[in-house]
Amino acid sequence: MRKSFTVTAQDTSGNARTGRIRTPHGDIETPAFAPVASQGTVKALLHDQVEKLGAQVILVNAYHLFLRPGLETIAACGGIHDFISWTRPILSDSGGFQIYSLTPLVKVTQEGVRFSSHLDGTKIFLRPEDVVDIQRSLGTDIAMVLDYFLPFPSAKARMKEAVKTTTFWARRSKERFLEKPTRQQLWGISQGSVFWDLRRQSIEELLAIGFDGYALGGLGIGEPKGELMETLEKADSLVPRDKPRYLMGMGYIEDILEAIERGIDLFDCVLPTRNARNGTIFSSRGKIVIKNQKYARDERPIDENCSCYTCRHFSRAYLRHLYEREEISSAVLNTIHNLHFYLDNFRKIRQSIALNSYREFKRQLLNQIKEREP
Protein backbone atom coordinates (compact mmCIF):
# COMPACT_ATOMS: atom_id res chain seq x y z
CA MET A 1 0.00 0.00 0.00
CA ARG A 2 1.28 3.47 -0.89
CA LYS A 3 1.87 5.75 2.04
CA SER A 4 -0.68 8.52 2.22
CA PHE A 5 1.94 11.08 3.31
CA THR A 6 5.66 11.50 2.67
CA VAL A 7 7.98 14.22 3.96
CA THR A 8 9.96 15.47 0.94
CA ALA A 9 12.25 18.10 2.51
CA GLN A 10 13.08 19.31 6.00
CA ASP A 11 14.26 22.83 6.77
CA THR A 12 17.04 22.68 9.35
CA SER A 13 16.49 26.15 10.86
CA GLY A 14 13.20 25.05 12.43
CA ASN A 15 10.62 22.33 11.96
CA ALA A 16 9.18 23.48 8.62
CA ARG A 17 8.97 20.68 6.12
CA THR A 18 7.55 19.99 2.68
CA GLY A 19 5.55 16.86 2.04
CA ARG A 20 3.10 15.15 -0.26
CA ILE A 21 -0.38 13.95 0.68
CA ARG A 22 -1.59 11.28 -1.76
CA THR A 23 -5.32 11.16 -2.46
CA PRO A 24 -7.50 9.39 -5.04
CA HIS A 25 -7.80 12.71 -6.91
CA GLY A 26 -4.13 13.63 -6.94
CA ASP A 27 -1.33 14.76 -4.69
CA ILE A 28 -1.28 17.77 -2.39
CA GLU A 29 2.15 19.35 -1.97
CA THR A 30 2.49 20.71 1.55
CA PRO A 31 2.55 23.13 3.24
CA ALA A 32 -0.78 23.71 1.53
CA PHE A 33 -3.66 26.13 1.83
CA ALA A 34 -7.18 24.86 1.14
CA PRO A 35 -9.55 27.61 -0.04
CA VAL A 36 -12.94 27.26 1.62
CA ALA A 37 -15.80 26.10 -0.59
CA SER A 38 -18.35 25.27 2.11
CA GLN A 39 -21.22 24.89 -0.36
CA GLY A 40 -19.09 23.31 -3.08
CA THR A 41 -17.90 26.57 -4.58
CA VAL A 42 -15.20 29.08 -3.69
CA LYS A 43 -17.35 32.17 -3.38
CA ALA A 44 -17.05 34.63 -6.32
CA LEU A 45 -14.78 32.38 -8.44
CA LEU A 46 -15.18 29.70 -11.08
CA HIS A 47 -13.37 26.38 -10.47
CA ASP A 48 -11.26 27.15 -13.52
CA GLN A 49 -9.96 30.31 -11.86
CA VAL A 50 -9.39 28.52 -8.54
CA GLU A 51 -7.34 25.85 -10.34
CA LYS A 52 -5.30 28.39 -12.28
CA LEU A 53 -4.55 30.23 -9.04
CA GLY A 54 -2.94 26.99 -7.90
CA ALA A 55 -5.39 25.54 -5.37
CA GLN A 56 -4.52 21.88 -4.93
CA VAL A 57 -7.42 21.07 -2.61
CA ILE A 58 -10.64 22.77 -1.56
CA LEU A 59 -12.63 22.37 1.64
CA VAL A 60 -16.33 21.61 1.59
CA ASN A 61 -18.54 21.47 4.65
CA ALA A 62 -20.34 18.21 5.41
CA TYR A 63 -22.86 19.96 7.67
CA HIS A 64 -23.95 22.51 5.05
CA LEU A 65 -24.13 19.93 2.22
CA PHE A 66 -26.00 17.45 4.41
CA LEU A 67 -28.70 20.09 5.02
CA ARG A 68 -28.77 21.41 1.44
CA PRO A 69 -28.95 20.03 -1.21
CA GLY A 70 -28.87 16.80 0.87
CA LEU A 71 -26.94 13.58 0.42
CA GLU A 72 -29.47 11.94 -1.92
CA THR A 73 -29.09 14.73 -4.47
CA ILE A 74 -25.29 14.61 -4.36
CA ALA A 75 -25.22 10.80 -4.54
CA ALA A 76 -27.66 10.84 -7.46
CA CYS A 77 -25.28 13.21 -9.24
CA GLY A 78 -22.36 10.84 -8.79
CA GLY A 79 -20.78 12.09 -5.55
CA ILE A 80 -19.25 15.42 -4.64
CA HIS A 81 -16.56 15.55 -7.35
CA ASP A 82 -19.07 14.96 -10.15
CA PHE A 83 -21.78 17.07 -8.57
CA ILE A 84 -19.60 20.18 -8.36
CA SER A 85 -17.31 19.18 -11.27
CA TRP A 86 -14.02 19.63 -9.43
CA THR A 87 -11.39 17.06 -10.34
CA ARG A 88 -8.73 17.76 -7.68
CA PRO A 89 -8.71 16.64 -4.04
CA ILE A 90 -11.55 17.66 -1.72
CA LEU A 91 -11.40 17.74 2.05
CA SER A 92 -14.64 17.74 4.00
CA ASP A 93 -14.92 19.34 7.38
CA SER A 94 -17.14 17.31 9.70
CA GLY A 95 -19.20 20.37 10.52
CA GLY A 96 -18.55 20.19 14.24
CA PHE A 97 -17.51 23.82 14.33
CA GLN A 98 -20.64 24.91 12.43
CA ILE A 99 -22.96 22.88 14.66
CA TYR A 100 -21.56 24.52 17.79
CA SER A 101 -21.27 28.02 16.35
CA LEU A 102 -24.28 28.39 14.01
CA THR A 103 -27.06 26.35 15.54
CA PRO A 104 -29.25 27.13 18.51
CA LEU A 105 -30.09 24.57 21.22
CA VAL A 106 -27.04 22.37 20.88
CA LYS A 107 -27.01 19.45 23.29
CA VAL A 108 -24.03 17.17 23.44
CA THR A 109 -24.29 13.74 25.01
CA GLN A 110 -21.90 10.80 24.88
CA GLU A 111 -24.07 9.39 22.13
CA GLY A 112 -23.84 12.39 19.81
CA VAL A 113 -24.98 15.94 19.26
CA ARG A 114 -28.55 17.17 19.09
CA PHE A 115 -29.27 20.55 17.54
CA SER A 116 -31.76 22.55 15.53
CA SER A 117 -30.96 23.29 11.91
CA HIS A 118 -29.83 26.92 11.59
CA LEU A 119 -32.09 27.10 8.49
CA ASP A 120 -35.54 26.08 9.69
CA GLY A 121 -35.18 24.81 13.23
CA THR A 122 -35.64 21.12 12.32
CA LYS A 123 -34.30 18.96 15.13
CA ILE A 124 -31.33 16.85 14.07
CA PHE A 125 -29.35 14.25 15.98
CA LEU A 126 -25.94 13.24 14.65
CA ARG A 127 -23.73 10.51 16.04
CA PRO A 128 -20.04 10.42 15.09
CA GLU A 129 -20.85 7.35 12.96
CA ASP A 130 -23.40 9.39 10.99
CA VAL A 131 -20.78 12.04 10.26
CA VAL A 132 -18.43 9.35 8.87
CA ASP A 133 -21.30 8.00 6.74
CA ILE A 134 -22.17 11.48 5.45
CA GLN A 135 -18.60 12.09 4.28
CA ARG A 136 -18.38 8.57 2.87
CA SER A 137 -21.50 9.29 0.88
CA LEU A 138 -20.06 12.62 -0.35
CA GLY A 139 -16.94 10.76 -1.47
CA THR A 140 -14.41 13.38 -0.38
CA ASP A 141 -10.70 12.52 -0.35
CA ILE A 142 -10.10 13.50 3.25
CA ALA A 143 -12.83 13.20 5.89
CA MET A 144 -12.68 14.69 9.36
CA VAL A 145 -14.10 13.08 12.51
CA LEU A 146 -16.82 14.80 14.55
CA ASP A 147 -15.19 16.55 17.48
CA TYR A 148 -16.55 18.45 20.47
CA PHE A 149 -15.64 22.10 20.04
CA LEU A 150 -15.83 24.67 22.86
CA PRO A 151 -15.38 28.44 22.50
CA PHE A 152 -12.47 30.36 24.04
CA PRO A 153 -12.20 30.86 26.92
CA SER A 154 -13.80 27.77 28.43
CA ALA A 155 -13.35 26.46 31.97
CA LYS A 156 -10.78 23.71 32.24
CA ALA A 157 -13.27 21.27 33.74
CA ARG A 158 -15.54 21.67 30.72
CA MET A 159 -12.62 21.34 28.32
CA LYS A 160 -11.64 18.13 30.06
CA GLU A 161 -15.08 16.70 29.33
CA ALA A 162 -14.89 17.93 25.72
CA VAL A 163 -11.56 16.12 25.24
CA LYS A 164 -13.01 12.96 26.73
CA THR A 165 -16.03 13.09 24.40
CA THR A 166 -13.83 13.97 21.41
CA THR A 167 -11.71 10.85 22.00
CA PHE A 168 -14.76 8.63 22.52
CA TRP A 169 -16.26 9.89 19.27
CA ALA A 170 -12.95 9.57 17.41
CA ARG A 171 -12.73 5.89 18.38
CA ARG A 172 -16.28 5.23 17.21
CA SER A 173 -15.61 7.15 13.98
CA LYS A 174 -12.56 5.01 13.25
CA GLU A 175 -14.50 1.80 13.94
CA ARG A 176 -17.23 2.89 11.56
CA PHE A 177 -14.66 3.95 8.97
CA LEU A 178 -13.01 0.51 9.05
CA GLU A 179 -16.26 -1.33 8.33
CA LYS A 180 -15.91 -0.81 4.56
CA PRO A 181 -12.73 -0.60 2.50
CA THR A 182 -12.13 2.84 0.99
CA ARG A 183 -9.38 5.03 -0.43
CA GLN A 184 -10.76 7.95 1.54
CA GLN A 185 -8.60 9.17 4.43
CA LEU A 186 -9.90 9.81 7.93
CA TRP A 187 -8.20 12.48 10.02
CA GLY A 188 -8.56 13.01 13.77
CA ILE A 189 -9.14 16.38 15.46
CA SER A 190 -7.61 17.12 18.86
CA GLN A 191 -9.15 19.55 21.35
CA GLY A 192 -8.00 20.96 24.67
CA SER A 193 -7.42 24.61 23.77
CA VAL A 194 -4.06 25.79 25.17
CA PHE A 195 -4.28 23.63 28.33
CA TRP A 196 -1.23 21.56 27.42
CA ASP A 197 -2.06 18.59 29.66
CA LEU A 198 -5.49 18.29 27.98
CA ARG A 199 -4.19 18.94 24.46
CA ARG A 200 -1.47 16.33 24.98
CA GLN A 201 -3.95 13.80 26.29
CA SER A 202 -6.20 14.48 23.29
CA ILE A 203 -3.37 14.05 20.75
CA GLU A 204 -2.00 10.92 22.47
CA GLU A 205 -5.44 9.31 22.54
CA LEU A 206 -5.93 10.06 18.83
CA LEU A 207 -2.48 8.64 18.06
CA ALA A 208 -3.41 5.44 19.89
CA ILE A 209 -6.53 5.09 17.72
CA GLY A 210 -4.53 5.88 14.57
CA PHE A 211 -5.51 8.33 11.82
CA ASP A 212 -4.14 9.31 8.42
CA GLY A 213 -3.58 12.87 9.63
CA TYR A 214 -3.92 14.94 12.80
CA ALA A 215 -5.75 18.23 13.05
CA LEU A 216 -5.52 20.75 15.84
CA GLY A 217 -9.03 22.07 16.43
CA GLY A 218 -10.37 24.89 18.58
CA LEU A 219 -7.34 27.16 18.11
CA GLY A 220 -6.99 30.64 16.64
CA ILE A 221 -10.21 31.76 18.35
CA GLY A 222 -8.77 34.32 20.76
CA GLU A 223 -6.21 32.53 22.90
CA PRO A 224 -2.97 34.51 23.58
CA LYS A 225 -0.57 34.20 20.62
CA GLY A 226 2.33 33.04 22.79
CA GLU A 227 0.32 30.19 24.30
CA LEU A 228 -0.97 29.18 20.90
CA MET A 229 2.56 28.97 19.44
CA GLU A 230 3.80 27.06 22.47
CA THR A 231 0.96 24.56 21.97
CA LEU A 232 1.96 24.11 18.32
CA GLU A 233 5.60 23.57 19.28
CA LYS A 234 4.75 20.92 21.83
CA ALA A 235 2.25 19.24 19.51
CA ASP A 236 4.94 19.11 16.83
CA SER A 237 7.16 16.97 19.03
CA LEU A 238 4.27 14.67 19.89
CA VAL A 239 2.93 13.79 16.44
CA PRO A 240 5.23 11.43 14.47
CA ARG A 241 7.15 13.19 11.69
CA ASP A 242 5.58 10.99 9.01
CA LYS A 243 2.04 12.16 9.76
CA PRO A 244 0.50 15.34 8.29
CA ARG A 245 -0.67 18.03 10.70
CA TYR A 246 -3.54 20.39 10.00
CA LEU A 247 -4.23 23.64 11.82
CA MET A 248 -7.93 24.25 11.26
CA GLY A 249 -9.32 27.66 10.44
CA MET A 250 -6.25 29.82 11.09
CA GLY A 251 -5.79 32.35 8.34
CA TYR A 252 -3.54 35.34 8.99
CA ILE A 253 -0.40 34.91 6.94
CA GLU A 254 1.72 36.08 9.90
CA ASP A 255 0.33 33.20 12.03
CA ILE A 256 0.57 30.71 9.18
CA LEU A 257 4.28 31.48 8.76
CA GLU A 258 4.90 30.82 12.47
CA ALA A 259 2.80 27.64 12.41
CA ILE A 260 4.69 26.25 9.41
CA GLU A 261 7.93 26.76 11.30
CA ARG A 262 6.35 24.61 14.00
CA GLY A 263 5.67 21.70 11.67
CA ILE A 264 2.13 22.40 10.42
CA ASP A 265 1.41 21.11 6.89
CA LEU A 266 -2.16 22.08 6.07
CA PHE A 267 -4.34 25.16 6.54
CA ASP A 268 -7.79 26.37 5.56
CA CYS A 269 -9.51 29.66 6.21
CA VAL A 270 -12.31 31.87 4.90
CA LEU A 271 -10.13 34.95 5.49
CA PRO A 272 -8.76 35.61 1.96
CA THR A 273 -12.13 35.02 0.27
CA ARG A 274 -14.45 36.59 2.86
CA ASN A 275 -12.24 39.65 3.31
CA ALA A 276 -12.02 40.10 -0.46
CA ARG A 277 -15.80 40.39 -0.63
CA ASN A 278 -15.69 42.91 2.22
CA GLY A 279 -13.12 44.99 0.33
CA THR A 280 -10.14 44.08 2.53
CA ILE A 281 -7.22 43.10 0.37
CA PHE A 282 -3.98 41.47 1.49
CA SER A 283 -0.72 42.48 -0.08
CA SER A 284 3.00 42.09 0.37
CA ARG A 285 2.86 45.54 2.03
CA GLY A 286 0.05 44.86 4.46
CA LYS A 287 -3.72 45.23 4.32
CA ILE A 288 -5.60 47.58 1.98
CA VAL A 289 -9.18 48.65 2.74
CA ILE A 290 -10.26 49.48 -0.78
CA LYS A 291 -13.20 51.72 0.13
CA ASN A 292 -10.86 54.33 1.66
CA GLN A 293 -11.14 57.74 0.02
CA LYS A 294 -7.38 57.90 -0.45
CA TYR A 295 -7.60 55.27 -3.22
CA ALA A 296 -10.20 57.23 -5.23
CA ARG A 297 -7.63 58.38 -7.80
CA ASP A 298 -4.85 55.90 -7.05
CA GLU A 299 -3.66 54.57 -10.38
CA ARG A 300 -1.39 51.93 -8.87
CA PRO A 301 -2.34 48.26 -8.75
CA ILE A 302 -3.20 46.75 -5.36
CA ASP A 303 0.29 45.29 -5.10
CA GLU A 304 3.14 46.25 -7.39
CA ASN A 305 4.85 42.94 -6.59
CA CYS A 306 1.82 40.84 -7.58
CA SER A 307 1.40 39.10 -10.92
CA CYS A 308 -2.29 38.19 -10.56
CA TYR A 309 -4.90 39.10 -13.19
CA THR A 310 -6.34 41.86 -10.99
CA CYS A 311 -2.99 43.54 -10.38
CA ARG A 312 -1.88 43.20 -14.01
CA HIS A 313 -4.98 45.02 -15.27
CA PHE A 314 -6.66 47.25 -12.74
CA SER A 315 -5.98 50.28 -10.58
CA ARG A 316 -6.97 50.79 -6.98
CA ALA A 317 -9.21 53.62 -8.19
CA TYR A 318 -11.17 51.24 -10.42
CA LEU A 319 -11.38 48.51 -7.76
CA ARG A 320 -12.62 51.10 -5.28
CA HIS A 321 -15.26 52.25 -7.76
CA LEU A 322 -16.47 48.65 -8.30
CA TYR A 323 -16.65 48.10 -4.55
CA GLU A 324 -18.56 51.33 -3.96
CA ARG A 325 -21.02 50.46 -6.75
CA GLU A 326 -21.42 46.94 -5.27
CA GLU A 327 -20.55 45.37 -8.62
CA ILE A 328 -20.21 41.56 -8.68
CA SER A 329 -16.83 42.01 -10.39
CA SER A 330 -15.55 43.69 -7.21
CA ALA A 331 -15.87 40.42 -5.30
CA VAL A 332 -14.40 38.47 -8.21
CA LEU A 333 -11.33 40.67 -8.74
CA ASN A 334 -10.59 41.08 -5.03
CA THR A 335 -10.92 37.33 -4.46
CA ILE A 336 -8.59 36.56 -7.38
CA HIS A 337 -5.96 38.79 -5.83
CA ASN A 338 -6.36 37.59 -2.24
CA LEU A 339 -6.28 33.91 -3.18
CA HIS A 340 -3.29 34.52 -5.45
CA PHE A 341 -1.54 36.23 -2.53
CA TYR A 342 -2.08 33.16 -0.33
CA LEU A 343 -1.43 30.42 -2.88
CA ASP A 344 1.60 32.19 -4.37
CA ASN A 345 3.10 32.62 -0.92
CA PHE A 346 2.51 28.93 -0.21
CA ARG A 347 4.40 28.12 -3.45
CA LYS A 348 7.27 30.32 -2.27
CA ILE A 349 7.13 28.77 1.19
CA ARG A 350 7.51 25.26 -0.27
CA GLN A 351 10.36 26.48 -2.46
CA SER A 352 12.20 28.11 0.43
CA ILE A 353 11.88 24.96 2.55
CA ALA A 354 13.27 22.87 -0.31
CA LEU A 355 16.20 25.32 -0.47
CA ASN A 356 16.59 25.17 3.30
CA SER A 357 16.05 28.92 3.57
CA TYR A 358 12.62 29.03 5.19
CA ARG A 359 13.56 31.21 8.16
CA GLU A 360 15.04 33.85 5.85
CA PHE A 361 11.94 33.78 3.63
CA LYS A 362 9.70 34.14 6.66
CA ARG A 363 11.74 37.04 8.04
CA GLN A 364 11.61 38.91 4.72
CA LEU A 365 7.88 38.46 4.19
CA LEU A 366 7.04 39.46 7.77
CA ASN A 367 9.20 42.59 7.45
CA GLN A 368 7.54 43.51 4.17
CA ILE A 369 4.05 43.07 5.56
CA LYS A 370 4.95 45.18 8.59
CA GLU A 371 6.30 48.05 6.44
CA ARG A 372 2.76 48.91 5.28
CA GLU A 373 1.97 51.03 2.30
CA PRO A 374 0.97 54.70 2.69
One-letter amino acid for residue 263 of the chain: G
Q: Which stretch binds Zn ion (CB under 5 A): 6-14, 84-92, 112-120, 333-341?
A: 333-341
Cβ nearer to Zn ion, comparing 53 with 259:
53
Long-range residue pairs from 116-123, CB within 8 A, at least 24 positions apart, any chain: 117/67, 119/67, 119/68
Three-state DSSP state, 223: coil
How many residues of this chain interact with Zn ion, rule: CB under 5 A?
5
Nearest approach, Cβ of residue 318 and Zn ion (Å): 13
Using the rule CB under 5 A, is 53 a contact of Zn ion?
Answer: no
Classify 149 as helix, strand or coil: coil
Binding flags for Zn ion, 216-255, as an x/- string (CB under 5 A): ----------------------------------------
Task: Pick between residue 337 and residue 350 the one whose CB is nearest to Zn ion.
Answer: 337
The nearest distance, CB 305 to Zn ion, in angstroms, is 9
**Shortest separation between residue 345's beta carbon and Zn ion, angstroms:** 12
Q: How far is the CB of 86 from Zn ion (least distance, A)?
A: 23
x/- string (CB under 5 A) for Zn ion, residues 297-316?
---------x-x-xx-----
Mark whether 93 is an active-site residue.
yes
Between 71 and 339, CB nearer to Zn ion: 339
Closer residue to Zn ion (CB): 232 or 319? 319
Which CB atom, from 25 or from 52, has the smaller least distance to Zn ion?
Answer: 52
DSSP result, 92-118: EE-SHHHHHHH-SS-EE-SS-EEEE-T
User: Is the CB of residue 324 less than 8 Å from the CB of residue 350?
Assistant: no
User: What is the maximum span of the chain, computed from C-alpha positions, in angstroms?
Assistant: 62
What type of residue sits at position 247?
Answer: L
Nearest to 63 by CA among 107, 109, 102, 105: 102
Query: Which of 172, 337, 350, 362 forms a contact with Zn ion (CB under 5 A)?
Result: 337
Among 166, 143, 162, 140, smallest CA distance to 152 is for: 162
Chain centre distance of CA 224? 20
| Residue with Cβ nearer Zn ion (192 or 272) | 272
Residues in the chain: 374
Q: Which stretch binds Zn ion (CB under 5 A): 26-34, 207-215, 314-322, 330-338?
A: 330-338
- Which listed residue (93, 255, 265, 303) is catalytic? 93
Query: Is 268 in the active site?
Result: yes
Q: What Cα–Cα distance (Å) separates residue 96 from each residue in 7, 80, 82, 138?
A: 29, 19, 25, 17
Work out how close the CB of 307 gets to Zn ion at its nearest, in angstroms, rounded to a whole number: 7
Return d(Cα 270, Cα 14) in angstroms, integer.
Answer: 27
Which listed residue (147, 255, 268, 303) is catalytic?
268
Q: Would you say 276 or 308 has its CB closer to Zn ion?
A: 308
Closest separation in Å from C-beta 308 to Zn ion: 3
* DSSP track, 35-84: EB-TTSS-TT--HHHHHHTT---EEEEHHHHHHTT-HHHHHHTTSHHHHH
Contact 331, 301 (CB under 8 A): no
Query: Least CB distance from residue 352 to Zn ion, whole Å?
Result: 20
Catalytic residues: 93, 268
Q: Which residues bind Zn ion (CB under 5 A)?
A: 306, 308, 310-311, 337
